[in-house]
Amino acid sequence: MLFSRATTKGCHLANASLVTTRSFSSTRIQKADFTHAVIGAGAVGLAIAKRLQQVEGASVVLIEKHGIVGSETSSRNSEVIHAGLYYGHDSLKTKLCLQGKQMMYDYCSRNQISHMNCGKWVVAQDDSQMGELQKVHEFASSIGVPVRFISSEEAKRREPDVRAQAGALESPSTGIVDSHGFMQFMHGEFEELGGTTALASPVTRIQAPGPNNKDWRIWTAPPSASEPQPFSPSAAVPEVEGEDTSITAETIVNSAGLYACGINNMILPKERHRTPFYAKGTYFSYSKSMPKPKTLIYPAPVPGHGGLGTHLTLDMSGRVRFGPDVEWVDSPNDLAPSPNNKRFAAALEDIKSYLPGIDTEAVALDYAGIRPKLGKLGAVASGKGFQDFYIKMEKGYNGFVNLLGIESPGLTSSLAIAEEVYEILYKGGKASKSMGRQEEISEPGKEFGTGGVQESF
Ligand SMILES: Cc1cc2nc3c(=O)[nH]c(=O)nc-3n(C[C@H](O)[C@H](O)[C@H](O)COP(=O)(O)OP(=O)(O)OC[C@H]3O[C@@H](n4cnc5c(N)ncnc54)[C@H](O)[C@@H]3O)c2cc1C
């Protein structure tokens, strides 16, 4: 099977045709179709694909099951450029959030992608919450992230509608970004660099390299009428009848977000299988123009909580929204905002604690996103059971970089995650002559997964 670069936008893998010849891995007799296959075109997969395509001689295929890029978690979040206040010393989240924040500001400024360095306040209403703010202050100061406590006079003057009974901590480097604009730009850049996008191509099966096959083989199903694709314009999703098709690649990157454990389980043996957990977050819209703070307002973090609390964020048009709360759900498709009265009442209580003048009648269910979790674990480092990002070249599986649990601050960190993956492939251990492959030997010729990603859970 032959494939093209830069011409498959909007095409299923099976529709691609060869227009360019690659020249890399001169020591290899048989060449793979691509140097790198990246599974999943969310913010993280897009950033990785773009970064790897920048390597001389690389040819990257970005494989996405939907008919458009970035239609899952990457377009269902708060669009906050996080400062890196919560994730503890020595965590990947802290390292990549700090690098990613800077890279995001630079990238957006350079490329006129809509963003705003609007800052954020974390507010405390009692002594115990103030204790949490003290911890955040101490931690942020220790890693060089600017934060400062605001006096109550200053708080009243700058944000008269915000209640911060016990204190407020300001994080001036926090901001917001138009996540869609960010992803569209990265996608355009990837394709201009010569990368190939295979849309409407759900990965169903993966075969690791072995004695009879030097490369990774990846099968994708044709888009089926039965698969729900609510965000895909029908014109971009050709209905292709027939068998799964496959391509080969020298390395493979699992960046499948909520379905990343499924891809993991297609490749690794049973004892290394992962069970995904899903922490849904529902957002609430606000239809009145007042009160309308100019900065983001977060409650004090709760140790062990799956999220950062029902906060107030703004989008690029200045629209106020609240959320997300935390609700453990069983399915990655459970995306309808939860109309549960108890949860709604709890969210309103949270919001009223820092914005007492809110008109609760104007608060309504908006949308929901789901955090990909690896357990019922906390989002912040204080408290037990913190979940860090998992980004690794899998031992015994040469050329397989596995990304799991890429929850918040994944959007902020996306460009830094891409750099991390590049480093793992090209600079970690003994790099082989071939494109970013280490010299470890894969478990020979094993095939995992048969009937689609979800069945592999
Ligand atoms: C409620 C909520 C709020 C958040 N707020 C913020 C925030 O303010 N700031 C921040 O930095 N981060 C935030 N995050 C985290 C951030 O949204 C994610 O970390 C980031 O979007 C993850 O990007 P991704 O590319 O890894 O995953 P995704 O965007 O989920 O992309 C994965 C892609 O893989 C594709 N895929 C899956 N399976 C297959 C398959 N078998 N074959 C082909 N393609 C497949 C999917 O269709 C999808 O497009 C938030 C997350 C949530 C849930």
- For residue 123, list its beta bridge partners: 168, 299
Token pair belonging to 250: 């020298």
Residue 150 · residue 186 · CB < 8 Å: no
| pLDDT score for 355 | 95
Calpha distance 6→198 (Å, rounded): 10
Token pair belonging to 17: 């045709």
Pairing verdict, β 277-286 and 363-373: antiparallel
| pLDDT score for 430 | 35
Classify residue 255 by burial, with Cβ atoms within 10 Å: 0-12, 13-18, 19+.
buried
Distance 410 CA to ligand 1 centre (A): 8
The answer on pLDDT for 378 being more than 90 is: no
Distance 76 CA to ligand 1 centre (A): 8
Residue 285 · residue 321 · CB < 8 Å: yes
CA distances from 395 to 212, 310, 324, 404 (A): 20, 39, 36, 15
Closest alpha carbon to 388 in 182, 96, 32: 96
Distance 96 CA to ligand 1 centre (A): 16
Atom of ligand 1 nearest to the CA of 406: 19
Q: Worst-scoring range by mean pLDDT, 150-159, 336-345, 427-436, 445-454?
A: 445-454
Q: What would the mean pLDDT of 10-37 be, rounded to a whole number?
A: 56
The answer on pLDDT for 142 being more than 90 is: yes
Distance of CA 12 to the CA centre of its chain: 23
Return the sign of the alpha-carbon dihedral for residues 145, 151, 152, 156: negative
Calpha distance 395→164 (Å, rounded): 49
| Banded model confidence at residue 247, pLDDT cuts 50, 70, 90 | very high
| pLDDT score for 23 | 32
Q: Which residues of 174-202 are buried (b: 16+ CB within 10 A; e: fewer)?
A: bbbbbbbbbbbbbbebbbebebbbbbbbb
Peptide bond connecting 324 to the previous residue in cis, omega within 30 degrees of 0:
yes
- DSSP annotation string for 166-186: SEEEEETT-EEE-HHHHHHHH
User: What is the amino acid identity at position 13?
Assistant: L
The answer on pLDDT for 98 being more than 60 is: yes
Residue 244 · residue 293 · CB < 8 Å: no
Residue 398 · residue 439 · CB < 8 Å: yes
Pocket test for ligand 1, best of 13, 408, 414, 448 (most atoms within 8 A of CB): 408
User: What is the amino acid identity at position 255?
Assistant: S
The answer on pLDDT for 83 being more than 60 is: yes
Q: Which domains does the chain have, with CATH numbers?
A: 13-73+180-273+387-456 (3.50.50.60), 120-172+277-373 (3.30.9.10)
Peptide bond connecting 291 to the previous residue in cis, omega within 30 degrees of 0:
yes
Helices (H) and strands (E) counted in the chain, each on its own, are 8, 21
Token pair belonging to 446: 């094993």
φ, ψ for residue 200 (rounded to 5)? 50, 40
| pLDDT score for 437 | 62
Residues with CB under 6 A from ligand 1: 39-45, 63-66, 71-74, 77-80, 82, 202-203, 255-259, 281, 324, 369-371, 406-412, 453
| Banded model confidence at residue 178, pLDDT cuts 50, 70, 90 | very high
| pLDDT score for 24 | 33
Q: What percent of the chain has pLDDT over 90?
A: 69
Q: Worst-scoring range by mean pLDDT, 80-84, 94-98, 289-293?
A: 289-293
DSSP code at position 442: P
Q: What would the mean pLDDT of 34-62 be, rounded to a whole number?
A: 98
User: Of all protein residues, whose CA lies closest to atom 17 belonging to ligand 1?
Assistant: 74
| pLDDT score for 428 | 74
SS3 (DSSP) at 142: helix
Pocket test for ligand 1, best of 61, 62, 68, 73 (most atoms within 8 A of CB): 73
- For residue 197, list its beta bridge partners: 62
